[in-house]
Structure 1
């Protein structure tokens, strides 16, 4: 049975979410098409990787794709939503956009298919820190000085990643946005027929198997003659070497350019840095904020 014709309840938007990055009101004017693809993550959880995977599946291993252009971040407040909506409306291919919002701050549609990517919060934070510490003045100017910002500006990060870690944990995702509520909100709808959960660890451990699972969920047939090209173009080494095709504006927002945006792609860099008490603190937050099955999945990629 086609999931889009099945009778299942859908989440409702209950609030707007706006800050230095977000303008969730754009979803109110987004016109869904049948088979739109929405890639959802907290951030730094494999978003760009998933965009690359879906682009390669849709365009049969094409080597000349700029995913940051064809798959925009819909709820990012720059460029203005009128510009972004017109750009997306003009697309003629099967559309795939990304969001970093919790479920209750976007418009959910039965017409679309949703892929949520999860990653251990400590790995997320390590990647976020690199993203932030390499940001240049152009990045700060776009986020802080473009008209329409709601709330405080985003400032520069501390020189210590440990200090950054504690601020992020203690102050509900500061200076970005809440982490636990994002994971929690998507977890509550994980069993909807148009939602697929993917974990960063599983992508790393079995990329071919996960890509085939994603293709099946999205009902995208795989041309086996293009399979090797698809895998090559989704590999970290390829994406690092061709980072300008993945990074927003070719990496113009970061010192070091696109190579800084596509950084390491590894997990566990925190293991030899965080002390026992600092590790325990994260685990206590996870136990408090998530149910046991969700916490286990987020840490391991395995469903209980």
Structure 2
């Protein structure tokens, strides 16, 4: 694969070879993408957002060879038939792992200015999210004339892998991701979310919410699968390990970015991302672009940058809560950390563990 230098507004490349948001038993928000086994479950009725590229009962078609990740408000079947263009950027992350941060970085690099022409989620939509008709999402992307960058929380084994695209996978220490996920649980308007996805109101109140320590211990020990809960420890490690292996095999253009590296050297990481994407930025523009990507600047612009145009979040400012590293290890005891570390080593290759859990 060879890349050509491009302007910040247009990218071309030449290749040498042709949430779901659910309240679990603990009462805390989790993003659960459930795999649907067709033979074992009755068809669901179509719900809000089941528009375009659908099969009977509002189901989206499956592409052969892709793993199914589906929930009441998130469906990777919406990627079926996605009209890729040369240079498309697919940002694939777990929840609370730097998704919006990378979307903003890509916006700054592609557009070449901190002054975005529309809210970030409008420019860079979440393709899998069923709260908006997929036909509307695709129409908006079709109208874009700059290089496109889209968001997904689906691992690469659930996405069509197109040689014209670059897949940017951002990851974070699983414990830090989990702490952020716990705190975001209090910021979700679940009634509004159920309204958008067509889910029924609960008939009985849920259990009381556990404190952070109890919830985090349970999160580290939970036995599940990626299809049942992508935001579990098992799901996080699967997402990163799958991307790592595909990058090493060279089967698709994958760029791995660590949240901690963005915190430690934002400008250096932005320059690395630009180089990987083949984007040339005029040197005197870098200071303004880097400043616009700082956590403080993004929090100040939360109204335009928070991924919530439909009122699911109670507070857009609270979405940008802390932006740090190490919070998870501060919560657990030495014995609990030892059990966590042992489980991580059992679930992922050593090179992935060494890179990820820092």
Instruction: State the TM-score, normalized to the length of structure 2.
Output: 0.74
Give unpaired runs (5+ residues) of structure 2.
4-13, 19-63, 201-205
Structure 1: how far apart are the matches of 2:133 and 2:218? 30
Structure 1: how far apart are the matches of 2:301 and 2:16? 41
Structure 1: how far apart are the matches of 2:67 and 2:331? 38
Partner of 2:286: 227
Partner of 2:265: 206
Partner of 1:150: none
Write out aligned runs for 1:169-248 (5 A).
Answer: 169=220, 170-172=222-224, 177=231, 178-191=235-248, 192=250, 194-248=253-307
Alpha-carbon contact 2:92-2:153 (below 8 Å) kept: yes
Question: In terms of mean alpha carbon deviation, does 188-197 or 69-78 score higher?
Answer: 188-197
1:266 matched to 2:276? The reply is: no
Alpha-carbon contact 2:243-2:254 (below 8 Å) kept: no
Structure 1 residues 175 and 111, CA, compared in 2 at 3 Å: closer, same or farther? closer
Alpha-carbon contact 2:92-2:156 (below 8 Å) kept: no
Write out aligned runs for 1:82-161 (5 A).
Answer: 82-142=135-195, 144-145=197-198, 158-161=209-212
Structure 2: how far apart are the matches of 1:127 and 1:86? 33
Helix, strand or coil: the match of 2:327?
coil
Alpha-carbon contact 1:51-1:67 (below 8 Å) kept: yes
Of 200, 213, 237, 1:162 maps to 213
Helix, strand or coil: the match of 2:154?
coil
- The alpha carbon displacement at 1:97 in A equals 0.3
Higher-Rg member (1/2): 2
Give unpaired runs (5+ residues) of structure 1.
148-154
1:30 matched to 2:82? The reply is: yes
1:5 matched to 2:62? The reply is: no
Alpha-carbon contact 2:258-2:356 (below 8 Å) kept: yes
Structure 1: how far apart are the matches of 2:126 and 2:142? 14
Instruction: State the TM-score, normalized to the length of structure 1.
Output: 0.87
After superposition, the C-alpha distances for 1:9-58 in whole angstroms (9 at most, x for unaligned) are xxx84322101342011111211000000111112111111111110111
After superposition, the C-alpha distances for 1:61-119 in whole angstroms (9 at most, x for unaligned) are 23245212100111122212222222222222211001111211111100101111111
CA RMSD of aligned residues (A): 2.4
- The alpha carbon displacement at 1:190 in A equals 2.1
Structure 1 residues 226 and 30, CA, compared in 2 at 3 Å: closer, same or farther? same
Alpha-carbon contact 1:133-1:156 (below 8 Å) kept: no
Corresponding residue pairs, total? 289
Structure 2: how far apart are the matches of 1:258 and 1:165? 24
Alpha-carbon contact 2:112-2:289 (below 8 Å) kept: yes
